[in-house]
Amino acid sequence: MTDSLTIRNMTRPEVDVLVDWAAREGWNPGLHDTELFWGTDPDAFIAADLGGRLVGGGAITSYAGEFGFMGFFIVVPEFRGRGLGNTLWHARRERLLARLHPGAGIGLDGVFAMQDYYAKGGFVFSHRNIRFRTEAPDRPATLTDGNPEIVHLAEVSFDELLGYDRTCFPAPRPAFLRGWISQPDALALASRQDGRLSGYGVIRRCLEGCKIGPLFADDAQAAEALYAHLARFAAGGPLFLDAPENHPAAIELVRRHRMVEVFGCARMYLGPPPDIAHHRVFGVTTFELG
């Protein structure tokens, strides 16, 4: 079944196809995800080519060789059940391991139905990341000055942002962050407490509504302030947040805003689990790149 299957790097136009497939699967990508993801790591996108036809793909993103993330794993529906996805997935895992430093870990957010499959490939369950949805009001309540102070992220030095992000993500990701926080159709904000960065968040327009990600903050107060300001960007439309279930304060935030669970993934790791400040992660960045 897989004799004529070729595993190779994707071309840039093929990544557009992959993102379109993701949209059809209901993953609701951002309007500018393709360019941002390609700019982060163009060697990450792997194609399954069957006799010259693109039938599947996925991403194997390397963050400076220190941490890898597997995402965007899709096989065209008519080609499923033939072993092609199994070949593609294992080839991607081995290629990503070869791109990383010895001993570096790999993460993924897998749909629950595939959790046992990924476990057979060596991945260990960590926690669930749950996508929540609400309808942002047409006329959000007027915000007042408060503590912490909320400012545009552009007012924060990039080095300070990079340092803060590193406490919440397993490896430095400067290339990704530069594009992510300055993308069109988006808003990036920071919280300040006593003159220092105490959190940041980004909201971007997606095919449906807007999605917050990441939402990183020192505590529930900073997270709430960031959420309230970011949510105004989505006024009158759907608003999504992917919250980690292993952080009770994050789940309290979505419940407080009456957000409804609509989707979820199992966060799993191959190799050592990352040593990050889980108490700061109120919303993950993306299910596709970590």
Residue spans of the domains in the chain: they are 5-130, 131-263+273-283
5-130 shares its CATH topology with 131-263+273-283: yes
- 90 closest CA partner among 56, 66, 65: 56
Q: What is the pLDDT of residue 1?
A: 47
- 166 closest CA partner among 81, 243, 59, 64: 64
Give the integer Cα–Cα distance in Å for 116 and 30: 29
Give the integer Cα–Cα distance in Å for 60 and 140: 39
User: For residues 183 and 203, is the Cβ–Cβ distance under 8 A?
Assistant: no
Give the integer Cα–Cα distance in Å for 150 and 164: 16
User: For residues 133 and 262, is the Cβ–Cβ distance under 8 A?
Assistant: yes
Question: Which H or E run contains 130?
Answer: strand 124-135
Q: What is the pLDDT of residue 145?
A: 66
Q: What tokens does 193 get?
A: 């407490």
- 133 closest CA partner among 239, 252, 284: 239
What CATH number has the domain spanning 131-263+273-283?
3.40.630.90
Q: Which residue has the tokens 């040593």?
A: 275
What CATH number has the domain spanning 5-130?
3.40.630.30
Q: What is the pLDDT of residue 91?
A: 97
User: For residues 287 and 27, is the Cβ–Cβ distance under 8 A?
Assistant: yes
Q: What is the pLDDT of residue 76?
A: 95
Q: How far is CA 56 from CA 35, 90, 133, in A?
A: 19, 13, 29
* 3 CB-near residues (< 8 Å, 6+ apart): none
Q: Which residues of the chain register pLDDT less than 50?
A: 1-2
Question: Please, which residues bridge with residue 238 across strands?
Answer: 135
